[in-house]
Homo-oligomer: A and B are copies of this chain.
Amino acid sequence: MTTEPITPLRSSDALGEIANVPLGERIADQLRQQILDGELAPGTPLVEIALASELGVSRAPVREALRILGLDGLVETVPYRGTTVRGLHRRDVEELYRMRALHEGFAIRRIVDTGRHRDLAELHACCDAMAASGSDARALNLVDERFHATLIELADHALLTTFWRTIAMQVRQVMAMCNRQIADPMVIAANHRRIVDAIASADAQTAITLLEQHIGDVIDQVLNEWSRGDARR
């Protein structure tokens, strides 16, 4: 658990964004990154005083950070016992993806129902980027993430966005543990393009069916990888 001292730099990047972010949030960002990248494996205990001394801060902001991560569903806290990186069982993974399909399907229906299916430029761009990603697995993952995030954004539903954020976070955590490349970028790009086309022609039902098929495939592949690789937790 090599947790480097946090950078005292402002965490913002956009111009003019000089908001002062509390220590706790910056620590949460850093730990989240490590969890999502697989550096902090599921089950790893996150001891407050240890993290505090490693980061050169007191326990208060560390507690704050652990609370935030709990809100993201990335850690589990038991009173008087401590906090650990959440272990993902086979069942959790399956539930996660079914939930994801449910929410994205809802997003599609909403996009069509509210007539927002004519502004799909960003989604098309994502498909193009997927096809062009070649063998760069990292780039493919990023684009895929952007595609689905855009889908949710288009639905224009704050509560949906909140829930989906939690789901996407855990999905990313799962992906980090499936190191092996999953599928052919061209196939993935084609799958997504079919979904976008169905949305564009206001055919929500077809789009949802395609999406569920796609996610169903991903579940199979991930779970396959899961049972073979390591019985984590």
List chain A positions with a Cβ less than 8 A from chain B.
Answer: 20-22, 25, 64, 67, 70-71, 73, 79-80, 91-92, 95-96, 98-99, 102-103, 106, 157-160, 162-163
Contact = CB atoms under 8 A, between A and B. Distances in A.
B102 A102 contact: yes
A159 B102 contact: no
Nearest to A89: B158
Nearest to A91: B158
B20 A95 contact: no
15 contacts: A20-B80, A21-B79, A22-B80, A67-B67, A91-B158, A95-B157, A95-B158, A95-B159, A95-B160, A98-B157, A99-B157, A102-B102, A102-B103, A102-B106, A163-B163
A25 B67 contact: no
Contact of A70 (B21, B25, B71, B96): B71
A95 to B, nearest CB: 5
B79 A159 contact: no
B21 A99 contact: no
Main secondary structure of the interface of A (DSSP, over half): helix
A99 B160 contact: yes
Given A95-B157, A96-B159, 8 more contacts: A20-B79, A25-B79, A91-B158, A99-B157, A99-B160, A99-B163, A102-B106, A163-B163
Nearest to A95: B159
A54 to B, nearest CB: 22
Nearest to A66: B67
A163 B73 CA distance: 11
A160 B20 CA distance: 35
Contacts of A158: 91-92, 95
Contacts of A103: 102
A79 B21 CA distance: 8
A202 B53 CA distance: 57
